[in-house]
Amino acid sequence: MATVLERHGSAPGTPGQKIYLASDGTCVGTVGGGAIERATLEALEAMVAEPLAKHALRTFKLGAELGMCCGGQMEMLIEPIEGVVPCLIVGGGHVATAVAPLLVKVGFSVLVVDAREGWGAEDRIPGVRCVVGDVDDLGEEVDPRGVCLVMTHDHQLDQAAIEWALKRGFAFVGGVGSRAKAERTRQRLLAKGFPEADRARVRMPLGLDIGARLPDEIAVSIGAEMVAWRKKRPVVPR
């Protein structure tokens, strides 16, 4: 996001005007248009491409360097802001019921998909969108630059959902389960020809190791891992 802080002399922008640039290229707002806006967007593009970018104060002089003759200048704050991360949860059981609303509160846009009528019913989890059906169809609407968390009631369904998520290219793929289940999952992926890079990026058991046992405790451990992933902080494998 870029915000006009000050305007000196002849300049098109007004203090308080803002422009947003998303990682997919979507642009909203304006800081005055023309060459000054083009230069601002170039600064924002550089920030979007830098994972650890920090805010910066920039002075844009509306002179020859921008091909302008206004003669004024504008002071802008250029800063990274966190967007909402798409999150698909496959399976609407007890853990999903606990973790989905928590993830919504910490910056994720959550869709829960479950083939069972009782567990995927609309409005079953307050503040979270739930749908009944198969992930192959309903999960397509979730941007794969986000996360897919698998926690169904059936190991075979878990396996199929993880394979689907890997093929779709989700940035993060995780599954709830024991270490033994995790090893069986990876062996099945190997048998089906999934490359090592894909097998290695399946995070299972999902969640930080805090000794969690109850659904709400497991939700805390998963939520903590997802916050760490979103903020690009390292997580030690279990």
Residue 21 has pLDDT above 90, yes or no: yes
Full-model pTM: 0.78
- Under CATH, which architecture does the 85-230 domain have? 3-Layer(aba) Sandwich (3.40)
pLDDT at 223: 97
What is the percent of the chain with per-residue pLDDT over 90, rounded to a whole number? 71
With bands split at pLDDT 50, 70 and 90, how would you rate the model's confidence at 54? confident
pLDDT at 68: 56
pLDDT at 69: 58
Q: Select from 36, 29, 42 the least CA-distant residue to 12.
A: 36
Q: Encoding tokens for residue 174? A: 């995780």
Residue 237 has pLDDT above 90, yes or no: no
Choose the weakest-confidence range: 21-35, 68-82, 149-163, 199-213. 68-82
pLDDT at 129: 95
For the segment 152-172, the average pLDDT, to the nearest whole number, is: 97
Separation of first and last alpha carbons in the chain: 37
Strands, E assignment, 18-151: 18-21, 27-29, 56-61, 73-78, 85-90, 108-114, 129-132, 147-150
Q: How many CA atoms lie within 13 A of 135 on its CB side?
A: 27
With bands split at pLDDT 50, 70 and 90, how would you rate the model's confidence at 136? very high
Instruction: Work out the mean pLDDT of the chain and round it to a whole number.
Output: 91
Residue 224 has pLDDT above 60, yes or no: yes
Residue 64 has pLDDT above 60, yes or no: no
For the segment 33-44, the average pLDDT, to the nearest whole number, is: 87
The segment(s) of the chain belonging to CATH 3.40.50.720 are 85-230
pLDDT at 65: 64
Could you give the residue ranges of the DSSP H alpha helices within 192-231? 196-200, 215-230
